[in-house]
Amino acid sequence: MESSVAIPGGQSNLVRGKSVFTGGAAVFLWLLLVSTIGVALYFMQQRDAIIAGALLVCISLAVQIRRNGFEVSGPAALFALTMAVFVWARPLIAFTSSNFNLRLVEVFSGIPVAPEDEAVYFSVLIASMLAYGATVLCNQLPTNLSETTRHPEGDRPFDPPFLQVWRLLFWTGAAASLIQSALYVRYFLNGGSYYALYVLGKDAVDIAGLSLIASFLFYGYLGLLLATDRNAHPALTRRRRLWTTAFVLLSLFGLTRGSRGEVFTQLLAGLWLLSFTGRKRIGMRVWFFSGVAMFGLAQMVGGMRSGGDDAFTGSSVSKVLEWFGYTQGISGELVAVASEKFGVAPANLRFIFAPLLGPFRRIFDPEFGVQNAHQGMSSGLLSNELAYRVAPEYYLAGHGAGTSYLAETYCALGLLGVLAATALLTWMVLQGPKLSIRSRSALFFFAATLPYILFTPRESLVLPVVPALKAVFLLAACKWCQKFLGLLRS
């Protein structure tokens, strides 16, 4: 017999004979889980607490994959991967050997970290692991939020008549991407420096508006995948190989611009959607070799960018992997440096919201994005202000330390900000695949923002906002283009 069960802090409903938690009850249980585990970790040594937090992440992710499968759990797994590379792996590697020193951040000439700032760094790591693990575990609860109604009208941009629009968008982006990469190749062949671009401004190499058009390559590829999913005609699904090959090759050629993050996260998001929408899943072997290839390319691009060519010389493979994970994790330890320079204060909320104004500031401020003293003092961007305060001479020469949503949210809101931001990002990557039940348009919106969610451990919290708005605009433009092409045919 069906019955209703009282839940502290919330209610439960009966849907199709199953007890379903309300959203409020799920949030209450998340808070209870975070509080309970957090108290237990508080009484442990911080190093032991970090190891326990890593185990919590692994266990929660294993439960998620076991219950929902890898395709549905793919974005959550990829987010855990980027968090591990850019944040979590660094201290875990450092605990294994005295060769690693967490009291020194290896940027510029080296940034010393005081014991109290290292304690802040460890606390932020534990909070992020706790928030991720608790959110994944609470995702296993049946909630009324998962009862989603399909909206067939949301699928219209991916019906067969719209396929030609996505093709046009894809190949237009491909052409612009080729031109943009060629401009950068010419710049570097003529002796240009990667770091000089941050002093001169990318307009010294690039053409205004070309980056926007080049981004259509990724959005067009997503549209083609969703227009040729499992329900499409087999003749159309066979073309996915051509589009995927072109997308991968053009993306890899884009590495000639010197930036790696956006290229790799777009490739990861594209491969996930290819598997999620295809008739045949991508095997773990393909994911493994893709990861190895990306690692090798990352090392090569990093070596070329810094003017070296010995990325693999003199070290075993295991040591190369160790140092790669350790040095990439600098993004996470920036919270220690930011804490020492800025502390925790409401004024630091500018680090969260200022990046949203970037596209508009570029229109009215031609110097925005150029590393000079004015930008270093008052840009509102943590990446600029932190680097300028730590090492102004390096900053003015084009070098930087980067940023992380962890440092931004901690300086603005403390550990509560870190917990809330990590839980929000984790919730987004867990809910994204469920949008396929609603419509392919909703899934397109999620897939378009996924690369930037994956990159937030090394970037600003609001990084996915502009790509999300661009996806909405492109969906509307797709409908308009189809109407326009229909009028031309008639």
Q: Which two tokens stand for residue 229?
A: 């999913």
pLDDT of residue 307: 61
pLDDT of residue 351: 94
CA proximity to 459, closest of 389, 374, 400, 371: 400
Query: Which pairs with CB-CB distance under 8 Å and at least 24 residues apart come from 358-361?
Result: 358/466, 359/466
How far is it, in rounded angstroms, from Cα 195 to Cα 107?
14
How far is it, in rounded angstroms, from Cα 395 to Cα 108?
9
Q: Is the dihedral of CA 180, 185, 191, 194 positive or negative?
A: positive
pLDDT of residue 10: 40
This prediction has a pTM of 0.88
How far is it, in rounded angstroms, from Cα 2 to Cα 7?
16
Task: Identify the residue whose tokens are 């611009």.
Answer: 257
pLDDT tens over the chain, length 490 residues: 343 333 333 433 333 445 577 778 888 999 999 999 999 999 999 999 999 999 999 999 999 999 998 889 999 999 999 999 999 999 999 999 888 999 999 988 899 999 999 999 999 999 999 999 999 999 988 766 555 555 555 567 887 778 888 999 999 999 999 999 999 999 988 888 888 888 887 778 888 789 899 999 999 999 999 988 877 677 777 788 899 999 999 999 988 887 888 899 999 999 999 989 887 777 777 777 777 777 777 767 776 666 654 444 556 677 878 888 899 999 999 999 999 999 999 999 999 999 888 777 777 777 777 888 988 898 899 999 999 999 999 999 888 888 999 999 999 999 999 999 999 999 999 999 988 777 888 999 999 999 999 999 999 999 999 999 999 999 888 878 777 766 666 5
How far is it, in rounded angstroms, from Cα 478 to Cα 490?
18
Largest CA distance in the chain: 78
Beta-strand relationship, 104-105 and 111-112: antiparallel
Tell me, what amino acid is at 314?
G
* Structural contact between residues 44 and 52, judged by C-beta atoms closer than 8 angstroms: yes
Residues 6+ apart with CB under 8 A from 292: none
